[in-house]
Amino acid sequence: MPISSDPPRAIAIQAEGLGKRYRVAGSGKRQDTLRDVVSNTVALFFKGKLAGARKDAFWALRNVSFEIRQGENVGILGLNGAGKSTLLKVLSRVTDPTEGRARMEGRLGSLLEVGTGFHGELTGRENIYLYGAILGMPHAEIDRKYDAIVAFSGIEEFINTPVKRYSSGMFVRLAFSVAAHMEPDILLLDEVLAVGDLAFQRKCLDFTKELQNRRATILFVSHNLFSIKSMCERVIYLRHGEVQYDGPTDKGIELYESDCRLSAIPWAKSESGEWPISITDVTLSDEDGERRNVFDHGERMRIRVAFELRSPVEAPNFILAFVRSDGVPCCNYSTELDGFAVNLSDGVGEIELLTPPLSLVSELYTLEVIVRGQGFRDLLGAQIGGTFHVRHPVFDLNFGVFHEPGEWCSGRDRRAIAARVRLPGAVA
């Protein structure tokens, strides 16, 4: 077996036993005065409980250790609350760890939240200099790269507008452009690309690949599996603040998909904390009822959804939505639009959909199960039903979202048809 002549790459990021603990403020409790804080602290000390674990604290990160070498693109995956954003904040020194330590070698650029480091009253131009200075770019370097930053952001006509009037997408465009053009050795990205449109996301992915070609190290937090697959050769998977997996991307994505099943859809929130309708099981099978999650283009799919009623609702509208791995909604099916009434008399139930022949292109899709009130109004439930693949040797993303055969004819055929049906302007 030949031995590679390439020297081993240096370690860019090293985390050793990282932990971060936060205090949780009790809801509805009064705010303690300084006297209360001092007296409570003294009481705890004499009771020997000061060093103990507090009931009003939780660990966002615990015992996180890993090494990332120069030039690696690493994705950070996990469900909401797994500790992904906290990890990046600790690495970027926005917050200090409660325990453990992290070491980084090289110039650090980070883009953690939309608009971080921006001042709303300043223009886009002024914020380029402000944010660049926060990231550690000298004024002369910003001058030299200013035109390239503005051009990449694509918001030239608004560059002299106060950023308080920017949309979240415009914020991301400008912030990412500044962070990327500082030519960092290490770039930390936290889900911000999900705010931009698809064209800008692809532009950012291409740019980060250029950074990687220059041996930049990129740590990328995202729920967008398309981006993770495109950018990252390795995934660190967090669960409840601890590292559950560190290895090749495909296996990490499998773990994420497994944990996502029946979890809440990230964009959906329940004001009461609990949905009136809970999805208890989702199964995918072919037309004959054989369970699987890989389907050929043109096949039909059976989707069976089991649910339970937690509080009274009337005429629920079950919606099954197919979302591509890059976040593009592709199609959905609705019981209300198809004239199907869901029986809620027993408090539990099961419905089944047989789809038309699948015309989606070859890709990975997420099934979202959404329940709304009549007329697509109130949100009654929103959970991830699972993922599936559509397979075809030719029809991929270059063909768009779906592909269906059309009917073709030549110009001569069209003139003949027009003459027979006597269309206006037909040639005799």
Same domain, 325 and 190: no
Same domain, 253 and 350: no
Compute the residue count for the chain: 428
Would residue 270 count as lying in a domain? no
With cut-offs at 50, 70 and 90, classify the pLDDT of residue 47. Answer: very low
Structure tokens that stand for 404 in this block: 């269906």
Would residue 228 count as lying in a domain? yes
Q: What is the mean pLDDT of residues 332-341?
A: 96
pLDDT of residue 56: 66
* Inter-residue contact 243 to 255 (CB < 8 Å): no
Same domain, 86 and 216: yes
Note the Cα 271 to chain centre separation in Å: 22
3-state DSSP assignment of residue 302: strand
- Please give the residue that has the higher pLDDT: either 7 or 22: 22
Q: What is the count of structural domains for the chain?
A: 2
With cut-offs at 50, 70 and 90, classify the pLDDT of residue 110. Answer: confident
Residue type for position 163: V
- Please give the residue that has the higher pLDDT: either 35 or 210: 210
3-state DSSP assignment of residue 261: coil
How does pLDDT run across 127-184, given as a tens digit for each residue? 999 988 888 889 999 999 999 999 988 899 999 999 999 887 788 888 888 887 888 8
Same domain, 15 and 121: yes
Same domain, 341 and 375: yes
Please, which residues have CB within 8 angstroms of residue 339's CB and are 6 or more apart in sequence?
A: none
Using the predicted structure, report yes or no on whether residue 54 has a pLDDT greater than 70: no
pLDDT of residue 328: 87
Would residue 40 count as lying in a domain? no
* DSSP string for 154-220: T-GGGTTSBGGG--HHHHHHHHHHHHHHT--SEEEEESGGGTS-HHHHHHHHHHHHHHHHTT-EEEE
Using the predicted structure, report yes or no on whether residue 364 has a pLDDT greater than 60: yes
User: Last residue of some domain: 260, 295, 330?
Assistant: 260
| CATH code of 137's domain | 3.40.50.300
Same domain, 119 and 60: yes
Q: What is the mean pLDDT of the chain?
A: 84
Would residue 423 count as lying in a domain? no
pLDDT of residue 228: 85
Percent over 70 (pLDDT), the chain = 83
Would residue 34 count as lying in a domain? no
- Rounded-to-integer distance, Cα 260 and Cα 266, Å: 10
Same domain, 85 and 225: yes
* Inter-residue contact 286 to 295 (CB < 8 Å): yes
Structure tokens that stand for 344 in this block: 């809620």
Would residue 6 count as lying in a domain? no
Would residue 362 count as lying in a domain? yes
Using the predicted structure, report yes or no on whether residue 261 has a pLDDT greater than 90: no
User: Last residue of some domain: 196, 226, 260?
Assistant: 260
| CATH code of 311's domain | 2.70.50.60
Same domain, 210 and 100: yes
With cut-offs at 50, 70 and 90, classify the pLDDT of residue 108. Answer: confident
Residue type for position 253: I
Same domain, 213 and 328: no
Q: What's the sign of the alpha-carbon dihedral 101, 104, 108, 110?
A: negative
Same domain, 239 and 287: no
With cut-offs at 50, 70 and 90, classify the pLDDT of residue 356. Answer: very high
With cut-offs at 50, 70 and 90, classify the pLDDT of residue 424. Answer: low
Same domain, 131 and 252: yes
Q: 192 — alpha (psi -120 to 50), left (phi > 0) or beta? A: alpha
Residue-number span of the structural domain to which 217 is assigned: 11-26+52-260
Using the predicted structure, report yes or no on whether residue 380 has a pLDDT greater than 50: yes
- Please give the residue that has the higher pLDDT: either 384 or 171: 384
Report if pTM > 0.75.
Answer: no
Using the predicted structure, report yes or no on whether residue 236 has a pLDDT greater than 90: yes
* DSSP string for 405-421: ------HHHHHHHHHHH
Would residue 238 count as lying in a domain? yes
Structure tokens that stand for 224 in this block: 């967008």
Same domain, 222 and 289: no
